[in-house]
Structure 1
Amino acid sequence: MLISDHDIILLTMNIQKYCVFTAILLTMGACDKFLDRPPLDTITDQELSFSQTEMELYSNKYYGSFQTFNGYDLGIFELDNASDNMVSGDYNYNARLAGTVTVPSAGGGWDWTAIRGINFFLANYHITKEAPALVNPYIGEMYFWRAWYYFDMMKAFGDLPWYNQPLGTESEELYAERISRSIIADSILADLDKAITLLPAKGQAVQGRLHRDVASLFQSRVALYEGTWEKYHAGTPFGVQGGQPDRYFRKAVAALEGMIQSQAYQIGHAGASEEDYRQLFNQTDLANNPEVLLWRKYDRALDVYHFAQNYFGVSDKNTGLSKSLVESYLCTDGLPISLSLKYQGDHTIKDVVANRDPRLAQTMYTSGKPRVVISGDTVSKFTVPDMTLESRLRNTTGYQLYKGVDPAADHTAGDITASIIFRYAEALLNYAEAKAELGECDQTVLDQTVNQLRNRVEMPALTATVGFVDPNWDFPELSGLLNEIRRERRVELACEGYRFDDLMRWAATHLIQRPMLGAKMQQYEAIKNQFNPILDPSAIPTNNQGYIAPHWNSPARDGWQFDPEAHYLSPLPQRELTLNPALRQNPGYLQ
C-alpha cells in the first residue's frame, strides 16, 4: 500500500474549506495545560456531520507523522544516528544518549495536541449518518493514531495519564497522577484491537491508507517493547511493579501469527537479484512488492518529490556507519568475525566485506560501486568516502552509507525514491524474538522467520542450538539464541531507525558505552590526492590504534555519557510539574 504526499497536499488545500476543522485545531493548540480541552462550545454537532469525506480529511493530517523522505532529509536512514549503528558528527545528536539532557521549562515532548484531536473525533463520530461500511475504516484509523501517539509518549516518559475522552477545563483528570505504563500499554493494545477489527484487509483498503496488517504489525511492536521493558528493567527505578512480560510476548506472537501463517507476504529469495536486499530501498514504486505493507509514493507530476538522493549519493550527511555495526555482520560460513577463518581483517574496506554477509556490502559503499548513473551509463564510481567535505555533509567514519542510494536518481528535477514505512521483515523479527523470550523458538520458528531473511542473501541458516559461543556477544548473560536473533535484527534493520528503541527496551544502552569508531585511516594514506581538498586528511581524528574517531576531541571520546540511572526516560517539563502537583518527575532528574 502507498501513501501519496499528494493526499496531504490536497488536505492542506481542502482543509481551508472546512472551517470547523481549522477552528478545532486552533482552539486545541491554544493552551498546553488543558491536555484534552474540547473545541469551543459554539462548535456543535450541527456544524460537523462526520461525513465520510470529513472523516478522511480529519485522519489525513496524521499520516505526516510517519518518518519518510522530506526535502533533503534522509528519513529513516538518519534515525540510527541515535544509536551505536551510526556516528553523527554532532556528539549531542541525541541528548539522552549524550548525557546532556536537562529538565525543560516547557515542551520537551510532553505534547498532547494530536491525542486531543483524536479524542474529539472518537467522542463525536457517532453522529454520522453514513453507512458503517463507509466510515468504519476511518474510525479504525483514529484508534490506530491514538495508539501511535500514546506509544511515542510512553517510550519517552513511561507512566502517563490516560485520556480517552475530551475533557473540560476543570476536569479532575487533568490534575491526576500518572498511571503505570503497563496500564497505558494495555490501553494502547486495546485501541489497536479496535483498529484491527475496523480497518479493512490490505486487498480491500483504499490505496495508500492504513489497513489491518499494518495495525497488527504495529501491535506486535508495542507488545514486544513493553514485554522486554518489563523483563529487562525489572528491579531498576524504571521497572514495573508486578510486571508480566510473558503476557506481552504472547500478545506480540498472537498479533502476527495469522499474517505469518497466511504467507500473504514474502521476503525476496536468493538469486532474484545480486543486490535484492539493497534494491528494496531505492525503488520508486513498491505497489507490487510482496514484502512491503505500507509505503509513501512521490510523483513529480504532482509536484511531490524530495532531494534525499543528493546527500545519499555524495556523502552520509555528517554521519557514517560505526565500526561496531560493521563488525556485527557474520561471515559467509555463519560464524562471527571472532571465530571465522574466513574473516580477512579490517585493514581495508575491501578486506572488511570479503566473505561477509552480503547485506554488509549492500549497506555501505565499497570501491567501484556506482555513484551516478545517467541513461544506464555509470559516470561516477565510489573510490574514497567523503570525509573531507564541509562538516554538515561529510562522512564521519570512512564507512559510507550505500543502503537507500539510487545512483540513477535525477538530482536536478527532484527525487521520487519511495519511502518504506512498514515491511514484513520486522514482523518476522518481532515474532522470532517474542517466541525466543517465551522459550518457544524452535527450528520451525527460525525457518519461518530469521532464516527467511538469511535465505535472501544466501547466508547459512540459524539453528536453534546456534552452535558457537561468540566471545564478543553484546549480551553474554543471555542465551546464544537471543544474542543471534538480536544480531539478525540489527543487521537486517540497520539504519532504519529501530536500534535506539531496541537498546532502550533491552535496558542495554549503558552496555554499549564504547568509543565510537570507524575504519582504519591508514588505507587512505596512499590516495590522499583523491580526497576533496577542503580538509587535509591528516586532520581527520584517529585513535591510538589508527581507527577514525570522530569524537576523539569531544566529551564523547570514550563513548556516550548515558546515565543508566536517569536517561532511560525523558524528564517531564517543569511547567507541567508546577501546574499539576500530583505529577512526579522521572527517576534521576530533580523535581
Structure 2
Amino acid sequence: MSLAYLKTVSLFSFIALVLSASACNDYLEVPPRESVADNQTITDQKSASTALSGVYSALASGGYYGTSFQSIGYLGGGDVQWTGTQSQVQEFVTHNVRADNATIGTVWSAIYVTINRANHILARVPAVVDPLLTETLKNQYLGEAYFLRALAYFDLARIFGGVPLITQPTLTATDNQGIARATQAETYAQVLRDLDVAEPLLPNPATVTTNDRYRATRKTVWALKARLYLYQQKWALAEEYATRLISDNANYQLVAPFNAWFANNARGTRESVFELFYNGTTEVNNHRGQWQPTANGGTRQWAPNTALVSLLTTAPNNTANGRTTLIASTTSTTWYGNLYYRSPGSDPSYIFRIAELYLIRAEARAKQGKLAEALTDLNAVRTRAGLAGSAATTPAAVLLAIEEERRLEFALEPHRWFDLARTGRATALFPDPVKANAPLPSSRLVLPIPISQLQVDAALTQNEGY
C-alpha cells in the first residue's frame, strides 16, 4: 500500500469504521505509521471498553498471534516444514528471509496496529469523565493497555532487533514518519518501562478472587517480566519473577496428563497464564486450517518434519499421554500438528503457560550455578510429560537439556526460533543460506525491516546483512 494512497484516507471514512457494528475488529484497523485517527472516539466507559477490546482483537489477529507472527517462531526453528509452494514462506525455513517477504510486512503492520490502539487508550482514557468509569476501572484499562503495548514491543524487538518507539497515537498521515529505530536494548527498556507502569495499575492478586486467563493482569506482567529478563540475561530477576507464578499453586499448575491443557476442547486451565480466546464465528483462529490435513478440513500448509516426529515418537518421548499427543498422522508418513484442531477455529492461542515459567526459572538457575534447583524445575516439566528425570550433571549439559526440553514442550508454539536466536545457538545449528559450508551469520538472528516500510520512511535503516 503506497503512502500516497494512505494519505487519501479521510477522517469521515475512519469515523464510519469506528462506529460500525464490527468496531471491535476494525477499531483503528489501518497501518499505524501512516494512519488517521479521530480524537473523540473514547468518550465514556463503554467506548473505552470497546477500544480496549480492539487492542485484544489486534493481538489475536491473523497477522499477529492468529497466524503470521507465530509462524516465524515455528518455521525458523528447524522442526516444522512448509508443505506449500510459496517461496516466501520457505525463506523462514532456510533462514534466507528477504526484505520484500509478505509475512514480515504483515507482522510488522499487525503489531504496530496493536501498539497504535493501545496508544489511543493511554492518551484518551485518563481524561474521560464518566461515573461508570471508576478510578479502579480506569486504572485497569490503562494497565492492560500498557501491558499489551509492552508485549507488542517485546515481540517486535525479538523479530527485528531495534524498532521505532511510538508512544503517542497516530493522528495524521505523517505523524510517525522520521522516527529513527531504537536499538534492541532500548526497545527492551521501553518494554520494561511499560510493565513497570502497568504492574501497580492492575488489581493486586491478593485482592482478586478469580484468575482471568484471557486478559492482562498483574500476573501476566510478572510472566512477561520473567521472559524479558531471560532474554536480557538478568538471571536473578528472571528467577524471581518466574517464582512469583510458580509459587501460586492455587492458580497455576502443570496439569496432567500432558495434553490436559488443550485436548477435549479444554481452555483456561490452570496451566494457562495468558491465552487468547476465539469463538470460532466472529473471532476465528486460523491455525487449525494451517496444521490440520485435508481429511480434517485443513490444508496442512506446515507440518512437523521428520526430525520432530522422530523425537516425539521414539522412546522415551512416546510415553502414554505424553507430548506425542501434539502430533497425529493420516498415514505412516503424513504427520500433522494437532495442537489446533477445533472446528471452525476456536482454539486458543497460548501466550504464557506455567510450563514456560518453570523452564525460565530452570535456565536462570542453571546460569547462576544452582544446578540442583535447575534440575528440580526441569524434571517437574519432564515428569508431567511422562518422562524420567534428566541425567544431566554438568552446567553445559543441564543448559542443553533445558534447551531440548523447551524444544519439545513448545514444539508447536512460537518459541524454538526465538530461543535459538537469543542464545546465539542458531549460528551453530543452521548453515549460511548464501555462503556454502559456513554457519548462519549472527546478522541473521534478526529479520529484515520490511521493504514497504523503508520505501515510505527515509529515517528507517535496514538490518545488517540484508
TM-score (norm 2): 0.75
Q: CA deviation at 1:460?
A: 2.4
Q: Contact between 2:143 and 2:197, CA under 8 Å: does it hold in 1?
A: yes
Task: Provide the C-alpha distance between the structure 2 equivalents of 1:322 and 1:62, rounded to a whole number of angstroms.
Answer: 34
List aligned pairs for 1:143-542, cutoff 5 A: 143-166=146-169, 174-200=177-203, 201=205, 203-204=209-210, 208-225=214-231, 227=232, 245=233, 248-264=234-250, 265-269=252-256, 276-287=257-268, 289-296=269-276, 308=289, 311=293, 314=296, 317-326=300-309, 328=311, 352-353=314-315, 359-365=322-328, 384-385=331-332, 395=334, 400-401=335-336, 403-404=338-339, 414=344, 419-437=349-367, 439-447=368-376, 449-462=377-390, 466-467=392-393, 479-513=396-430
After superposition, give the CA deviation of every residue in 1:337-372 in whole Å (9 maximum; x if it has no partner): xxxxxxxxxxxx7xx34685553533344xxxxxxx
Contact 1:96–1:567 (Cα < 8 Å) also in 2: no
- Cα distance change of structure 1 residues 206 and 151 upon mapping to structure 2, 3 Å threshold: closer
C-alpha displacement of 1:197? 2.1
Map Cα deviations across residues 407-457 of structure 1 (whole Å, 9 max, x no partner): xx7x6xx475555443211111112112222x243323432x222112224
Aligned counterpart, 1:55: 48
SS at match of 1:286: coil
Distance 1:492 1:310, change over 3 A: closer
Cα deviation digits, residues 59-107 of structure 1 (max 9, x gap):
1122232379x9x989969962332112222484252442443333998
Asked if residue 571 in structure 1 is aligned to residue 431 in structure 2, the reply is: no
Q: Distance in 1 between matches of 2:70 and 2:84?
A: 18
Contact 2:245 2:354 in 1 (8 A): no
Aligned to 2:142: 139
CA spacing shift, 1:565–1:355, aligned 2, 3 Å: closer
Q: 1:491 to 1:136 in 2, by over 3 A?
A: same
Q: CA deviation at 1:176?
A: 4.4
Distance 1:222 1:357, change over 3 A: farther
Amino acid at match of 2:429: I
Letter in 2 for 1:431: R
- Opposite residue 399 of structure 2, the aligned amino acid is L
Cα gap change, 1:105 to 1:279, in 2 (>3 Å): closer
Structure showing greater Rg = 1
Contact 1:98–1:562 (CA under 8 A) maintained in structure 2: no
2:4 aligns with none
Root mean square deviation, CA, Å: 4.4
Alignment coverage as a number of residue pairs? 431
- Paired residues of 1:155 and 1:569 also in contact (CA < 8 A): yes
Structure 2: distance between partners of 1:59 and 1:25: 11
Paired residues of 1:364 and 1:402 also in contact (CA < 8 A): yes
Quote how far apart the aligned CAs of 1:152 are. Answer: 2.4
Q: Which runs of 5+ in 2 are unaligned?
A: 1-15
Deviation at 1:485, TM superposition (A): 0.9
Pairwise CA distance, 1:110: 4.3
* Aligned 8 A contact 2:239 2:361 in 1: yes
- Structure with larger RCO (C-alpha < 8 A, sep 6+): 1
CA, structure 1 residues 319+146, in 2 after alignment: closer, same or farther (shift >3 Å)?
closer
TM-score (norm 1): 0.61
Determine if contact 2:81/2:302 at 8 Å carries over to the other structure.
yes
Kindly tell me: are residues 440 and 277 of structure 1, through their superposed partners in 2, closer, same or farther at Cα, counting changes over 3 Å?
A: same
Q: Secondary structure at the match of 1:460?
A: coil
Greater helix fraction, Structure 1 or Structure 2: 2
8 Å contact from structure 2 (residues 259, 325) kept in 1 = yes
How many Å separate the matches in 1 of 2:169 and 2:278? 36
Shift of 1:279: 3.8
Report the 3-state secondary structure (helix = DSSP H, G, I; strand = E; otherwise coil) of the residue aligned with 1:443: helix
The offset of 1:482, in angstroms, is: 0.6
CA distance in 1, matches of 2:263, 2:84: 27
Partner SS for 1:426: helix
Amino acid in the other structure paired with 2:424: A
Structure 1: runs of 5 or more not aligned: 1-12, 228-244, 270-275, 330-348, 366-381, 388-394, 469-477, 515-554
Deviation at 1:160, TM superposition (A): 2.2
Structure 1 letter corresponding to 2:254: I
Q: Percent identity?
A: 22
Amino acid at match of 1:504: A
Q: Distance in 1 between matches of 2:80 and 2:238?
A: 28
Task: Supply the distance in 1 between the matched residues of 2:267 and 2:153 (Cα, whole angstroms).
Answer: 29
Matched position secondary structure for 1:290? coil
